[in-house]
Amino acid sequence: MGRRIRRTLRALARAFLEDRYVAYLERKLRGAPVPHHVAIILDGNRRWAAERGLTVSRGHRTGGEKVATVLGWCDEAGVEVVTLWLLSTDNLTRADSELIPLFATIERTAAELALHPRWRVNLVGAPALLPERTRVALETAVAATASHTGMVVNMAVAYGGRHEVVDAVRALLQEHERMGTPLAELAEQLTDEHIAQHLYTRGQPDPDLVIRTSGEQRLGGFLMWQSAKAEFWFTDVYWPDFRKVDLLRALRDFSKRERRYGR
């Protein structure tokens, strides 16, 4: 038997076993608690490409092609909000040779999500830091899906956790300046809810589950305010290789945890 045939048979056997395991996990999750909000750090595109001798832009493009598929799995599971960290403010310092194709991938992803009949796209980040073409593509997707009532998809682009908190405090101070609130009075009355009302994700539930791919076990400032009480799940799988079985494992792990919120 030739090597190509053996490889094909092994791939078919792996696919068959994975399908069986997916079906098993789906049965186990029936009736189990499902996170309302899942936040995902899409990490590992560059390393995925490097290990295959491919260009960085190919890695980002393949990662972008995975987005709608994973969102579909989240929708099937009953998740109400998904936040995807596609580009951080720190990433904006990378070379143009990487950023220009990455911006193009984000634009294609936004256009693809805008075609979904139910999902509502929301921009999370600082659009003023983006090239005009990318900003317009994201804002077009937001406008095209504004009336949709299905799963909310937050595209975190040019997003940084510290940047978000600074923006929230700035917006809060500007609001109270317009209202004529004395600074001393604001300082006396200030609560965490006042700041939460000015975050990029205001009006949405905080993430229940944060997933990071690629083996890194840190948040890097992702939703640093909102994730204070979230559960975390890390996987060694690079984002382009992220499978349905990986998502279901994360959901199963979440369903087994006892969330005591400090009590």
pLDDT at residue 80 tops 70: yes
- Residues 53, 174: Cα–Cα separation, whole Å: 50
Domain range holding 87? 34-160+206-252
Task: Give the count of domains, the chain.
Answer: 1
Among residues 195, 116, 109, 199, the alpha carbon closest in space to that of 155 is found at: 109
Where residue 112 sits, what CATH number does that domain have?
3.40.1180.10
pLDDT at position 23, please?
Answer: 86
pTM value is: 0.91
Residue predicted with more confidence, 103 or 23: 103
Catalytic center residues: 43, 91
Write down the residue that tokens 């087994």 correspond to.
256
Is residue 77 domain-resident? yes
Confidence class for position 150, pLDDT limits 50, 70, 90: very high
Residue 168 lies in a domain: no
Give the pLDDT score at 46.
96
Instruction: Decide if 166 is inside a domain.
Output: no
Provide the pLDDT confidence category of residue 154 given band limits of 50, 70 and 90: very high
Residue type, 215: G
Answer yes or no: is pLDDT of 172 > 70.
Answer: yes
What are residue 81's phi and psi, to 5 degrees? -135, 135
- 193 in any annotated domain: no
135 in any annotated domain? yes
Q: Which of 65, 225, 81, 200 is nearest to 149 (CA)?
A: 81
Is 70 a domain residue?
yes
pLDDT at 15: 66
| pLDDT, position 28 | 87
H helix runs in 80-131, sequence order? 96-114
Evaluate whether residue 84 is within a structural domain.
yes
The arithmetic mean of pLDDT across residues 10-25, rounded, is 74
Q: Which two tokens stand for residue 110?
A: 């936004």
Residue 252 — very low, low, confident or very high, per pLDDT cuts 50/70/90? very high
Provide the mean pLDDT of the chain.
93
pLDDT tens-digit readout, 37-59? 999 999 999 999 999 999 999 99
Please report whether residue 96 resides in a domain: yes
The b-or-e profile of 183-215 (16+ CB within 10 A means b, else e) is: eeebeeeeeeeebeebbbbeebebbbbbbbbbe
Question: Is 60 exceeded by the pLDDT of residue 134?
Answer: yes
Query: DSSP readout, 3-28?
Result: HHHHHHHHHHHHHHHHHHHHHHHHHH
| Angle in degrees, CA 113, 82, 136, rounded to 5 | 40
Q: What is the pLDDT of residue 8?
A: 61
Angle, helix 244-256 to helix 56-77, in steps of 10 degrees: 50
